[in-house]
Amino acid sequence: MINSGDTAFIIVCAALVMIMTPGLAFFYGGLGRRKNVVSNMMNSFFIMGLGIALWCAIGYSLSFGGNTAGIFGSFHNLFLNGITMNDLLDPAAEGGSIPTFVFVVFQMMFALITPAIITGSVGGRMKFKALVIFIAVWSIIVYYPLAHMVWGEGGLLGSGWLGSVDFAGGNVVHISSGVSGLVLAVVLGKRQSYDKISYRIHNIPFILLGAGLLWFGWFGFNAGSALAADGLAAHAFVTTGISAACGILSWVVIDLIKSGKPTLIGACTGAVAGLVGITPGAGFVPVYAAFIIGLLVSPVCYFGIYIVKKVLQIDDALDAFGCHGVGGIFGGLMTGIFAQASVGGVDGLVYGNAPLLGKQLIAILISIAVAVVGSLIAVGIAKVFSPLRVSREDELIGLDYAQHGEQAYPSFNGLD
């Protein structure tokens, strides 16, 4: 029987997660250069069209439409065939009180934000046509299988074999997108004059707006993953807020140590890092662990960004890997340490179940491997149809005008 309270709650949560993708567009738009703001925002926003169409056509079926060897679903629900408005998720399973269509749209929003995160790594140099092809192929061969392996019935990394846990997307969303972004950044190479000129952030208010929308939507992202309006959802809501808050505090401390001045950019980045770090364990770890995760994830991500950009000399333009990839890995491991059975049904290392930490590590390594191999395949397919990178001239002009024929801040004479 449909539970109207649970159904309404998850519908609202789906809408909250939806706003995260435009929020990410503002976040990335503000972080990039002035001449690429339209391009950076378009890279995120177009995925709302491509991602919804793909999810409803094939994505849901491959992710949750049955089980094939624990790796992907099936082709039974292509174009949502066989699902009606009165169908329920398995009544014996968690979330069985909501219509299947509600679960479809809630998970659909995850399938939008995840590839949008990748675009932060390639800002200012990737052709839009190549990016569209890459995202489409990547969604099919990386995201949908990972969603099934972690969350689907009989999934290889979840209930089907390994028994690892991922409450709201540490592996599926953040590790997959962060690692794939890093692969793309390596394949594309550095932006022109990357080592010679300063790439100044162009709009800090955009960054704050984007971070605020991301945080707002993240409550639906994590709390909604309980799939019911219950105590677990409330717990995930609380741990999410605490970790984000502590992420801000610790990043501001880093700013003070580094330069003696707290920065708004740092505070926004710390909030996002805190949100990423708690995502795998929001419904598994106790409240005190959210303080620890939030306080530690910012220095861990800061170190990750430093290693990628300064030591490895990889141009991860807007730090998709440094924030999401590193934060997702850290959060998954912390879940293996602090998970408590009284919260989410499974104990971690602190509560006497050391094997969970090993399972988390194995799941992370498999997720990384899937993301790397899948990204390289998607790159190869995209290159068949389009060069990956814009010309040197287009890059110097800016992708707003070169790729989209628009300028965020046009100069003109006379009236509008």
Where are the domains positioned within the chain?
4-404
So what's the pLDDT on residue 91?
Answer: 60
Identify the top-confidence range among 132-146, 197-211, 401-415.
132-146
For Cα atoms 409, 25, 266, give the angle at the middle one, nearest 5 degrees: 95
The per-residue pLDDT for range 80-139, each reduced to its tens digit, is 999 999 898 866 555 568 999 999 999 999 999 999 999 999 999 999 999 999 999 999
Please check the confidence at residue 332 and state whether its pLDDT lies above 90: yes
H or E stretch at 379: helix 355-385
The answer to whether the CB of 72 falls within 8 A of the CB of 62 is yes
Please check the confidence at residue 182 and state whether its pLDDT lies above 70: yes
User: Can you tell me the mean pLDDT for 279-307?
Assistant: 97
Residue 416's pLDDT band (boundaries 50, 70, 90)?
A: very low
The answer to whether the CB of 14 falls within 8 A of the CB of 105 is yes
The per-residue pLDDT for range 23-78, each reduced to its tens digit, is 999 999 999 999 999 999 999 999 999 999 999 999 999 999 999 999 999 999 99
So what's the pLDDT on residue 146?
Answer: 98
Please check the confidence at residue 412 and state whether its pLDDT lies above 70: no
Q: Which regions of 25-183 does DSSP assign to beta strands (E)?
A: none
User: Which range has the worst mean pLDDT, 255-269, 331-345, 401-415?
Assistant: 401-415
**DSSP alpha helix (H) spans, 119-175:** 128-138, 144-151
What CATH number is given for 4-404 in this structure?
1.10.3430.10
DSSP string, 219-234: HHHHHGGGSSSSHHHH
The answer to whether the CB of 382 falls within 8 A of the CB of 388 is yes
> Is residue 196 classed exposed, middle or buried when 0-12, 13-18 and 19+ CB atoms within 10 A define those classes?
exposed
**CA-wise closest residue to 61 among 80, 47, 48:** 80
Alpha-carbon separation of residue 259 from 253, 266, 294, 373 (angstroms): 10, 12, 22, 39
> Residue 68: beta bridge partners?
72
So what's the pLDDT on residue 192?
Answer: 87
Alpha-carbon separation of residue 414 from 350, 409, 411 (angstroms): 68, 15, 10
Predicted structure pTM score: 0.96
Backbone angles phi, psi at 341, to 5 degrees: -60, -30
Please check the confidence at residue 400 and state whether its pLDDT lies above 70: yes
The overall average pLDDT reported for the chain is: 95
The per-residue pLDDT for range 224-242, each reduced to its tens digit, is 999 999 999 999 999 999 9
User: Can you tell me the mean pLDDT for 379-393?
Assistant: 97
Residue 2's pLDDT band (boundaries 50, 70, 90)?
A: confident
User: Can you tell me the mean pLDDT for 367-376?
Assistant: 98
